[in-house]
């Protein structure tokens, strides 16, 4: 049994950041990580074409200006290998590895009410007793895969994009199928198309996408950003989503067509994901959204030669960005190649695997390899896998059976001293997640610092506060178009999952102000105790 001040679960961007900060406070803290390497999703999503769709300068830590100055990004949108190199560089530079246990899966965590401690058990039988348990387990880290009839009889290879093998995967001479056209499927399509003998993309829902406008980072741009990095970070902090440029505060409906076209054209060629911020109301008003969606549909049409294929690829069943759009590098153009076929599985659903390939209601697609780019059990998938038991042995999974209940996305009543980093109910995937990670880990660190200074041993969310927060998260979501589409934002990605809105859509800046005022008010919505509630009860009875 190992006794610690804090245990962090997950060695991705969040876990490393939490380790750096908590260790810097003199706490005895460790990280456990189920994989055999650090990096979280960036360790596993090694599929061809994987890259970040937030600009490298913004998708990076801000806690060390030395780190900011010394790291040299090679491209505006970094590839997965480059991001993984960055993560490893950070781990080495700040000597983080010595406190990380790899190949260590948290199987259960039980709250000991009398001691105000968590007892964490790993799959290998190790036990940790800790005051604080920080869950840094990711929002898109529990891959989900279909289970078609006959799958085990398939004679080719099946790979999931989010569990990409560490050995070289070759496509030369192979007939490859990709199921799924979210960001992962759209990123890998043009790359695999170039290498494979034939590529079939199995599409259920056509998705919006904006070109990445990727480019090498020139020495000049690198120097310019580094000279004004602090201002760029401030800009990100004060933006709705944590991206490092100024959003337009105008309505898309307050300008004439020519002006709007000019703005969209410029954003389309330079801003990638930020296209959605061209006007402030793109995600708030359907008529405003229609202007952006119509512009993007025109652009998609221009990129595809065959009118029949084009008609299938143009998204028409959801508002732009109500589902997560992609930022692509040649996705639509890939369908102009002779060796690429689009299989519309909404029209002709997949029926089963056969030894030679995939049978749809139309025909057998003969394949040597099938890639599942089918996404994740988002937001709650990883958090609810282990048995996390709070007061009275209540399982987190039971408490959240009808959807996650949190105060500020950071904790939940009945599970004291449990801290969720970038959890449901926080801006999470509606933000540049690096900004959210740094903000929340620092907020937790300040809270722990205060608790230690004041002799606090138990920190618990109040029931009323979490009810009010869940209601607020829902109210904010209702102001947007997010609930108008079925997506992983609202639980539609997994059959039977509660259909509730998961992230907080009120924006990074609002959220930061809420966190700050919570702290200023002595952590309103939380009860901070100098003795465990259970121990007090015992004394009182
Ligand atoms: O997953 P997705 P993803 N049969 O859920 C289809 C981040 N990310 O891995 O929409 C057939 O978006 C499903 O169809 P439908 C980013 O936040 C970031 O692509 O359910 N099809 C959909 O087309 C992103 O949003 C980067 O009708 C099935 C696709 O699979 C998130 O990760 C790069 C199916 C899943 O799309 C997830 O992206 C990559 C089935 N049974 C990912 N099940 C960056 O650039 C699912 N589908 C940072």
Q: What is the pLDDT of residue 536?
A: 58
**Measured from the CB, is residue 328 less than 6 Å from ligand 1?**
no
Exposed, middle or buried, 522 (CB in 10 Å: 0-12/13-18/19+)?
Answer: exposed
d(Cα 33, Cα 72) in Å, to the nearest integer? 27
User: What's the alpha-carbon Rg for the chain, to the nearest Å?
Assistant: 24
Q: What are 158's strand-pairing partners?
A: 370
For residue 184 and ligand 1, the question of a CB distance below 6 A is answered with yes
User: Is any ligand 1 atom within 6 A of the Cβ of residue 52?
Assistant: yes
Question: Which residues partner with 353 through β-bridges?
Answer: 358
Residue 181, ligand 1, Cβ within 6 A: yes
CA of 196 to the centre of ligand 1 (A): 22
Q: How far apart are CA 454 and CA 399, in angstroms?
A: 30
Please give the domain boundaries of the chain with CATH numbers for all domains: 2-141+378-529 (3.50.50.60), 151-372 (no CATH)
Say what the pLDDT of residue 540 is. 37
How many whole angstroms separate alpha carbon 181 and alpha carbon 90? 32
Interval between CA 332 and ligand 1 midpoint (Å): 16
Q: Give the dihedral sign, CA 179/184/186/192.
A: negative
Question: Which residues in the chain show pLDDT less than 70?
Answer: 536-541
- Residue 493 beta carbon below 6 angstroms from any ligand 1 atom: yes
- pTM here is 0.97
Tell me how far apart the alpha carbons of residues 333 and 469 are, in angstroms, rounded to a whole number.
44
**Buried b or exposed e, range 391-407, using 16+ CB within 10 angstroms:** eeeeebeebbeebbbbb
Rounded CA separation 210/196 (Å): 25
Distance, CA of 119 to CA of 135 (rounded, Å): 14
The pLDDT assigned to 541 comes to 32
Q: Is residue 140 in contact with ligand 1, taking CB distance under 6 Å?
A: yes
**CB of 505 shorter than 6 A to ligand 1:** no
Question: From the CA of 458, how far away is ligand 1's center (Å)?
Answer: 39
Q: CA torsion, points 512, 515, 516, 517, in degrees to nearest 10?
A: 120
pLDDT at 90 (0 to 100): 98
428-481 per-position pLDDT tens digit = 999 999 999 999 999 999 999 999 999 999 999 999 999 999 999 999 999 999
Q: Render pLDDT for 327-381 as a digit per residue (tens, 0 to 9).
A: 999 999 999 999 999 999 999 999 999 999 999 999 999 999 999 999 999 999 9
Which tens digit of pLDDT belongs to each residue from 195-206?
Answer: 999 999 999 999
């Amino acid at each position: 049994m190992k006794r610690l001040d804090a245990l962090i679960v997950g060695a991705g961007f969040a876990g490393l950041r939490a380790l750096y900060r908590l260790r810097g406070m003199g706490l005895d803290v460790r990280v456990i990580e189920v994989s055999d390497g650090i990096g979280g999703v960036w360790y596993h999503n090694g599929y061809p074409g994987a890259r970040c769709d937030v600009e490298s300068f913004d998708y990076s830590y801000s806690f060390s200006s030395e780190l900011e100055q010394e790291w040299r990004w090679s491209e505006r949108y970094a590839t997965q290998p480059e991001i993984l190199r960055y993560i490893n560089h950070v781990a080495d530079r700040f000597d983080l590895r010595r406190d990380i246990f790899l190949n260590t899966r948290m199987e259960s965590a039980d709250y000991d009410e009398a001691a105000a401690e968590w007892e964490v058990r790993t799959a290998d039988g190790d036990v940790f007793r800790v005051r604080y348990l920080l869950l840094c387990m990711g929002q898109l880290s529990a891959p989900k895969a279909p289970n078609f009839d006959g799958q085990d009889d398939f004679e080719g290879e099946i790979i999931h994009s989010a569990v990409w093998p560490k050995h070289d995967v070759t496509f030369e001479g192979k007939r490859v199928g990709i199921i799924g056209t979210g960001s992962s499927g759209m990123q890998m399509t043009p790359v695999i198309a170039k290498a494979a003998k034939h590529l079939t993309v199995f599409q259920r829902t056509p998705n919006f996408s904006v070109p990445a406008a990727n480019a090498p980072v020139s020495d000049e741009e690198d120097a310019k950003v580094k000279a004004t990095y602090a201002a760029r970070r401030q800009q990100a902090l004060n933006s709705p989503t944590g991206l490092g440029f100024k959003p337009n505060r105008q309505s898309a409906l307050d300008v004439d067509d020519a002006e709007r076209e000019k703005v969209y054209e410029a954003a389309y060629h330079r801003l990638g994901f930020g296209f959605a911020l061209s006007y402030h109301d793109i995600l708030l008003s359907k008529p405003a959204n229609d202007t952006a969606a119509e512009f993007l549909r025109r652009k998609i049409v221009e990129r595809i030669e065959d009118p029949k294929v084009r008609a299938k690829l143009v998204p028409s069943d959801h508002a732009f960005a109500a589902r997560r759009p992609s930022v692509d590098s040649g996705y639509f153009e890939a369908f102009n190649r002779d060796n690429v076929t689009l299989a519309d599985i909404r029209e002709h659903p997949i029926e089963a695997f056969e030894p030679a390939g995939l049978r749809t209601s139309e025909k057998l697609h003969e394949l040597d390899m099938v890639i599942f780019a089918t996404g994740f059990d988002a937001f709650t998938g990883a958090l609810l896998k282990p048995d996390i038991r709070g007061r009275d042995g209540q399982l987190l999974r039971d408490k959240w059976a009808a959807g996650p209940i949190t105060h500020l996305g950071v904790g939940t009543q009945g599970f004291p001293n449990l801290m969720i980093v970038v959890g449901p109910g926080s801006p999470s995937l509606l933000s540049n997640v690096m900004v959210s990670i740094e903000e929340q880990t620092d907020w937790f660190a300040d809270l722990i610092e205060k608790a230690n200074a004041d002799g606090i041993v138990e920190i618990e969310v109040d029931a009323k506060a979490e009810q009010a927060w869940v209601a607020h998260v829902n109210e904010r979501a209702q102001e947007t178009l997010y609930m108008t589409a079925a997506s992983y934002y609202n639980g539609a990605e997994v059959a039977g999952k509660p259909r509730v809105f998961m992230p907080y859509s009120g924006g990074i800046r609002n959220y930061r102000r809420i966190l700050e005022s919570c702290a200023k008010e002595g952590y309103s919505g939380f009860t901070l105790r100098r003795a465990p509630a259970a121990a007090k009860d015992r004394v009182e009875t």
